[in-house]
Amino acid sequence: MTLAVRYLAARTLDTAPAENPPPGPGQVEIAPAYVGICGTDLHIFHGDMDARVAAPAVLGHEMSGRIVRVGAGVDDWSPGDAVTVMPLRWDDTCPACRAGHQHICRHLDFIGIDSPGAMQQRWTVPATTLVRLPGSLPLDHAALVEPTAVAVHDVGRAQVRAGEKAVVVGGGPVGVLIALVARAAGAEVRVVEPSAHRRRLAEKSGLTTWDPAADDLPELVREWTGDAGADVAFEVSGAQGGVDTAVDVLGVRGRLCLVAIHPRPREVNLHRFFWRELTLVGARLYDRTDFEKAVTLVADGTVPAEQLISRVVPMAQAPAAFEALEGGGDVMKILVDCTEDSQGAIQ
């Protein structure tokens, strides 16, 4: 028996012994090292996804670890290999899959939501989900590969080009990662974020931030762009005000990339879309190419993982970590340490 962090009901988690099946044909068993807590995990914690998540459910999909055992037919992987997991399983038969868009399969199994996740000491997954990590990359830093892959996909969907001006509305973990990836693509970037703490964290990464409560955003955009407006905006806040800001900052033929998951319909200024010939694109998840690029960006320091990781906690403190993230305030990214040494011996 090994330990796992389990979702039981709204605002109720526990750390308890859990069984993990041995790897079958085409599968591997991983010892997760670090697992990040993301916004989707918080939605689960709040009970907002009970129609989809079957309790007790093991959470977590932002992870790093090492292979422990491999099943029959797995020839490309060996015990001890450092890996992360692209947590997607698709049916390969639906129209989206047949069109080459497996990451938005109509029957997608998002591992860590629809099936058991990584917040446990042993985890069996298909070998096809593995992404190799370089030996020089610390495993705590590698836990940021998955959210970085989200950012890589978002920047790709927005078709960000060198020299363009990009506004990221929302300076949480994904917003900061989008800003860093867009900057690496050659864009000039501004991050709009009301939290002073998150603005400071973004600025430590060399990003320029604007405070929507105190700054005159229209004037700042005019000065920055020579009255042309931004080329691209990313809506990462999930709030109505964020939608309004993302639309308003765009210049003629600007692109709005919708990243945040909005739980309810939002009002959008369609007259602005008509008047300026704006484009709206959705961005969901990632593909393997995004993941592999994310590994490179974390490994080469483009993503300053050490600055973005606010704290690392053992599994027993996971419930308190979820509560700390609810307030946003003084934290950016919390990792759960799933290694045996941090919990005591495996039960």
Residue with tokens 């700390």: 324
The reply to whether 40 belongs to the active site is: yes
- Chain centre to alpha carbon of residue 318: 18
Q: What is the 3-state secondary structure (H, E, C) of the chain?
A: CEEEEEEEECCEEEEEEECCCCCCCCEEEEEEEEEECCHHHHHHHCCCCCCCCCCCEECCCEEEEEEEEECCCCCCCCCCCEEEECCEECCCCCHHHHCCCHHHCCCCEEECCCECCCCECCEEEEHHHEEECCCCCCHHHHCCHHHHHHHHHHHHHCCCCCCCEEEEECCCHHHHHHHHHHHHCCCEEEEECCCHHHHHHHHHCCCEEECCCCCCHHHHHHHHHCCCCEEEEEECCCCHHHHHHHHHCEEEEEEEEECCCCCCCCCCCHHHHHHHCCEEEECCCCCHHHHHHHHHHHHCCCCCHHHHEEEEEEHHHHHHHHHHHHCCCCCCEEEEECCHHHHCCCC
Instruction: Out of 2, 40, 208, 302, pick the active-site residue.
Output: 40
- Contacts of 111 by beta carbon, 8 Å cutoff, 6+ apart: 61, 85, 87, 88, 89, 117, 118, 125, 129
β-strands 130-132, 230-235: how paired?
unpaired
Q: How many residues does the chain have?
A: 347
Instruction: Out of 2, 12, 15, 43, pick the active-site residue.
Output: 43
Closest to 70 measured CA to CA, from 128, 116, 24: 24
Residues forming a β-bridge with 124? 29
Q: Which residues are catalytic?
A: 40, 43
